[in-house]
Amino acid sequence: MLYDLRTYRCRPGTVSAQLAAYAETGFAAQSRHLGAPLLYATVETGDVNAYVHLWQFQDAADRERRRAALYEDEQWLAYRRRSAEAGFQTGQTNMLLKPAFFWLQDPKLKQDER
């Protein structure tokens, strides 16, 4: 598995407006190509002018294929244009993560026991 953790920073007071625009015009297109995110969240402590999302892929090739399809989707491109015009975002950090060798290796370990 490969996990894609993204953190977006926004101008103070604009996180809610950015997420509203995404919910209205970006979420459906992105989910159609990438699947449902494992997490989409606002930051409660620390950089409160940020939000994060976490996506799961089989491997780097799967991620590349799905993201290429996303960037051919006119609905996604329209959202990106709208987001850029609004100017709410000020920065982005992207981390690709691989699980540690012991993570979820025991089939007896249930999701709620982690």
Q: Counting Cβ atoms within 10 Å, is residue 41 exposed (0-12), middle (13-18) or buried (19+)?
A: exposed
> Do residues 17 and 96 lie in contact, with contact meaning Cβ atoms separated by under 8 Å?
no
pLDDT value at position 102?
80
CATH number at residue 55: 3.30.70.100
Q: Which tens digit of pLDDT belongs to each residue from 45-88?
A: 999 999 999 999 999 999 999 999 999 999 999 999 999 999 99
Pairing of strands 2-10, 39-42: unpaired
Domain assignment present for residue 20? The answer is yes
Number of domains the chain contains:
1
Does this model's pTM top 0.85?
no
Cα angle 61, 21, 13 (rounded to 5 degrees) comes to: 110
Q: In this structure, what token pair is assigned to residue 99?
A: 């699980």
Domain extent for 52? 2-97
pLDDT value at position 28?
96
pLDDT value at position 110?
52
> Do residues 7 and 50 lie in contact, with contact meaning Cβ atoms separated by under 8 Å?
yes
